[in-house]
């Protein structure tokens, strides 16, 4: 299916093929596990603030419907394409299956630059996209959530547009909403908190002392900043951080509160006076115990994988490491990889909790949310580590093996339709 042609989709397919070989999945079963069930491409005309009309491209890919509704984020970024969204949807499928969530994977996106748009323009774009999606979404069909470039406000506009259409309030149509509209406490922090929890488990496994450990975080957005704060709570020193405008390094440790204040004032971490400026490429090669890519796909490639200077590579972003880089890292057993499908699963796990709370109109405390989140992550971490060790697989292959096998088994039992 050439419509999905994109380097990120090829990367997801290469990972799938490795696992399909491992599981000895018959060739004739592979395409229906790999290719999305349903994809929508829509033209989104909106009025800009200057009175002109501009048309944006919007995408939604629902990877499979075998285990329940589809679930996945909505990304606003200039480089969004159908192929990238399809890859992200496929990874969501493996992530949900390996953590035991009753969902298929999905992802959406609009090719736009939210940093250059006013709140009014973003609202019109979001409402128009939601309107176009109405025949294909629903709390039992497909449920969206925030991803790069989107946030609670975007989810609130989506929920409102859908609710106005059906004539009553439907909180379960999206997750990652404001708590005042039926969002879950702890959802905003869930992905970063989960990343930090798993890094802490990896430090235990490697017998690294958190109080002496250092971390570098690429992408100081929702996931990256919460990961940094949560790691700091475990005692880890954050020595590097970045965003799209550039990076920072201070071997003595960054003061996170002052960095957050700088970010709030200047809309970027770049230019923070208490650190030396570095490029994003240099940032990935800084000496540290923990490297956390928390921005885009394909950041760790064959060009820099041999030069990483970390002990733990914690993939908070989706797809930050290419298969070619994976092969180089496989020759470097000193690096422990927390693969994306496990590492950032905290987000979809608490999205699942939010959906369950909305369906029941019965809400949990933050302690309940955190305990249930850590229980699921702990179980997945232990299961994947055991599989990795007993079968001699990388952590990525072990995680994907669990996810792909669960879906393959379900598809075999159900039959050809879903
Ligand atoms: P966000 O928009 O809040 O933050 C993204 C950050 O990355 C920003 O600081 C941005 O400036 C930076 N960035 C963008 N392009 C960059 C580049 N080329 N180099 C360096 N930094 C760059 O997004 P987020 O929600 O934190 O998502 C980050 C990653 O985590 C994405 O890969 C997303 O798919 C993944 N993820 C997010 C969630 C979630 O709950 N939000 C859940 C699972 C996975």
Residue 357 lies in a domain: no
Q: Mark whether 164 and 229 lie in a shared domain.
A: no
Tell me what pLDDT residue 418 has: 82
Strand 312-314 relative to strand 214-218: parallel, antiparallel, unpaired?
unpaired
Ligand 1 pocket member 243 (CB < 6 A) = yes
Backbone angles phi, psi at 253, to 5 degrees: 105, 140
Residue 380 lies in a domain: no
Q: Mark whether 212 and 138 lie in a shared domain.
A: no
Name which residue sits closest to atom 35 of ligand 1, judged by CA: 317
d(CA 199, CA 256): 19
Ligand 1 pocket member 340 (CB < 6 A) = no
- Name the domain boundary from 306, 338, 370: 338
DSSP 277-304: EE-HHHHHTS--SEEEE-S-SS-B-TTT
Ligand 1 pocket member 317 (CB < 6 A) = yes
Residue 411 lies in a domain: no
**For each of the chain's 418 residues, which pLDDT tens digit applies?**
799 999 999 999 999 999 999 999 999 999 999 999 999 999 999 999 999 999 999 999 999 999 999 999 999 999 999 999 999 999 999 999 999 999 999 999 999 999 999 999 999 999 999 999 999 999 999 999 999 999 999 999 999 999 999 999 999 999 999 999 999 999 999 999 999 999 999 999 999 999 999 999 999 999 999 999 999 999 999 999 999 999 999 999 999 999 999 999 999 999 999 999 999 999 999 999 999 999 999 999 999 999 999 999 999 999 999 999 999 999 999 999 999 999 999 999 999 999 999 999 999 999 999 999 999 999 999 999 999 999 999 999 999 999 999 999 999 999 988 8
Ligand 1 pocket member 58 (CB < 6 A) = no
Q: Which atom of ligand 1 is nearest to the CA of 190?
A: 40
- Name the domain boundary from 298, 316, 338: 338
CA neighbor of 312 nearest in space, from 338, 293, 294: 338
Residue 154 lies in a domain: yes
Distance in Å, CA 2 to ligand 1 centroid: 27
d(CA 293, CA 316): 6
Ligand 1 pocket member 322 (CB < 6 A) = no
DSSP 204-243: HHHT--GGG-EEEEE--SHHHHHHHHHHHHTT-EEEEEEE
pTM of the model: 0.97
Residue 377 lies in a domain: no
Domain that residue 245 falls in = 190-338
Q: Mark whether 111 and 239 lie in a shared domain.
A: no
Residue 180 lies in a domain: no
Distance in Å, CA 263 to ligand 1 centroid: 15
Tell me what pLDDT residue 306 has: 98
Q: 142 - beta bridge partners?
A: 70, 138
Distance in Å, CA 149 to ligand 1 centroid: 7
DSSP 371-405: HHHHHHHHHHHHHHHHHHHHHT--HHHHHHHHHHH
Tell me what pLDDT residue 417 has: 84
Name which residue sits closest to atom 29 of ligand 1, judged by CA: 317
The CATH number assigned to the domain holding 331 equals 3.40.50.720
Q: Give the contacts of 385 (CB within 8 A, at least 6 positions apart).
A: 205, 395, 398
Q: Mark whether 199 and 109 lie in a shared domain.
A: no
- Buried b / exposed e along 45-63 (16+ C-beta atoms within 10 A): ebeeeeeeeeebebbbbbb
**Looking up tokens 């709570």, which residue turns up?**
233
Do 297 and 84 meet the contact criterion of CB atoms below 8 Å apart?
Answer: yes
Q: Mark whether 160 and 213 lie in a shared domain.
A: no
Q: Mark whether 233 and 89 lie in a shared domain.
A: no
Distance in Å, CA 47 to ligand 1 centroid: 27
Q: Mark whether 12 and 139 lie in a shared domain.
A: yes
Ligand 1 pocket member 147 (CB < 6 A) = yes
411 is catalytic: no
Q: Which atom of ligand 1 is nearest to the CA of 225?
A: 26
d(CA 127, CA 162): 9
Residue 361 lies in a domain: no
d(CA 331, CA 32): 33
Tell me what pLDDT residue 84 has: 97
Distance in Å, CA 330 to ligand 1 centroid: 26
Q: Mark whether 258 and 125 lie in a shared domain.
A: no
Ligand 1 pocket member 184 (CB < 6 A) = no
d(CA 172, CA 360): 10
Q: Mark whether 151 and 12 lie in a shared domain.
A: yes
- Name the domain boundary from 300, 318, 338: 338
The CATH number assigned to the domain holding 87 equals 3.40.50.10860
Residue 302 lies in a domain: yes
Q: Mark whether 49 and 142 lie in a shared domain.
A: yes
Q: Mark whether 102 and 205 lie in a shared domain.
A: no
Angle, helices 82-98 vs 395-414, to 10°: value is 90
Number of independent structural domains in the chain? 2
Q: Mark whether 84 and 141 lie in a shared domain.
A: yes
């Amino acid at each position: 299916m050439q419509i999905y042609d994109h380097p990120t989709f090829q990367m997801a397919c290469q990972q799938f093929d490795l696992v399909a070989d491992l599981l000895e999945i018959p060739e004739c079963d592979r395409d229906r596990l790999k290719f999305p069930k349903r994809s929508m491409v829509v033209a989104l005309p909106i009025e800009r603030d200057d009175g002109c009309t501009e048309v944006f491209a919007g995408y939604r890919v629902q990877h499979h419907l075998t285990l329940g509704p589809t679930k996945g984020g909505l990304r606003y970024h200039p480089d969004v394409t159908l192929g990238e969204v399809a890859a992200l949807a496929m990874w969501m499928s493996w992530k949900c299956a390996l953590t035991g969530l009753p969902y298929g994977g999905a992802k959406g996106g609009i090719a736009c630059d939210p940093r250059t748009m006013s709140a009014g323009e973003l609202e019109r774009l979001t409402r128009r996209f939601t309107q176009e999606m109405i025949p294909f979404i629903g709390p039992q069909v497909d449920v969206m959530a925030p991803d790069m470039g989107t946030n609670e406000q975007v989810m609130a506009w989506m929920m409102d547009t859908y609710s106005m259409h059906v004539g009553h309030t439907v909180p379960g149509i999206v997750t990652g909403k404001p708590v005042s509209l039926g969002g879950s406490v702890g959802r905003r922090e869930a992905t970063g908190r989960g990343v930090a929890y798993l890094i802490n488990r990896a430090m235990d496994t490697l017998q690294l002392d958190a109080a002496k450990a250092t971390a570098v975080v690429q992408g100081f957005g929702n996931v990256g900043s919460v990961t940094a704060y949560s790691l700091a709570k475990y005692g880890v020193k954050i020595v590097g951080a970045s965003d799209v405008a550039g990076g920072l390094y201070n071997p003595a440790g960054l003061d996170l509160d002052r960095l957050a204040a700088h970010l709030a004032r200047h809309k970027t971490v770049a230019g923070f006076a208490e650190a030396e400026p570095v490029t994003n490429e240099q940032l990935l090669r800084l000496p540290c115990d923990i490297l956390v890519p928390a921005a885009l796909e394909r950041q760790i490639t064959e060009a820099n994988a041999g030069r990483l200077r970390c002990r733990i590579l914690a993939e908070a972003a989706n797809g930050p490491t290419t298969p070619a880089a994976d092969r180089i890292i496989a020759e470097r057993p000193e690096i422990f990889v927390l693969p994306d499908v496990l590492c950032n699963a905290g987000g979809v796990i608490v999205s699942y909790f939010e959906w369950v709370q909305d369906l029941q109109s019965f809400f949990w405390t933050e302690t309940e949310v955190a305990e249930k989140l850590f229980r699921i992550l702990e179980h997945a971490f232990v299961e994947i580590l055991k599989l990795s060790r007993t079968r001699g697989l990388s952590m990525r292959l072990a995680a994907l093996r669990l996810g792909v096998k669960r879906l393959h088994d379900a598809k075999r039992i159900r039959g050809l339709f879903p």
